Amino acid sequence: MIKHLDEEVVGVSYNVTILIQDAKTEKVIKEIKKHNIITTSGKSLIAQRIGNESVNGITYLAVGTDDTTELASDTELGNEVYRNQITQAINSGNKESIKYFLSSTQANGNDLVEAGLYGGVASDTADSGTLVGHVTFDKIEKTSSIAVTFLWDITFN
């Protein structure tokens, strides 16, 4: 007789909130809420981390100007124009919250429509590392009069 073990499926969901703020007053001008794509390579990176392999987790957020629909097979943003190390990461139970603050002096002159989280061997170099999550959103005309805060929640269900 073959016995089947009950299997629990572990899901990973990503949710992104983007706050567009007045650079001087810090007042929120617009809030965008989106769900993103978890990339195939991102799932692999998460599995490696769980397996206790020596691999860096999520360390960078990048923004870009290509509004092509994101796919699980994506390995980089469509047109990356700026990246930097994440500002803050907080773990709470089954959720990791990642924050990135794009200041009034960063990525100006670009119409931002995509963002991605990078890990593994990610560095300051564009398209380096493993793209874990990719999201597209309504155009943000980035100027020195605004700052943008990206809040990315990664929840394991």
Has residue 6 been placed in a domain?
Answer: no
Which among 120, 96, 114, 106 has a CA at the least distance from the CA of 48? 120
Has residue 4 been placed in a domain?
Answer: no
> Distance between CA atoms of 49 and 15, rounded to whole angstroms?
21
pLDDT tens track of the chain, all 157 residues?
A: 444 444 445 555 558 999 999 999 999 999 999 998 889 999 899 888 777 667 788 999 999 999 999 999 999 999 999 999 999 998 888 888 999 999 999 999 999 999 999 999 999 999 999 999 999 999 999 999 999 999 999 887 7
The number of folded domains in the chain is: 1
> Distance between CA atoms of 69 and 34, rounded to whole angstroms?
13
Range of the domain at 40: 13-156
Q: What angle do CA 74, 20, 23 make, to 5 degrees?
A: 130
> Distance between CA atoms of 133 and 52, rounded to whole angstroms?
21
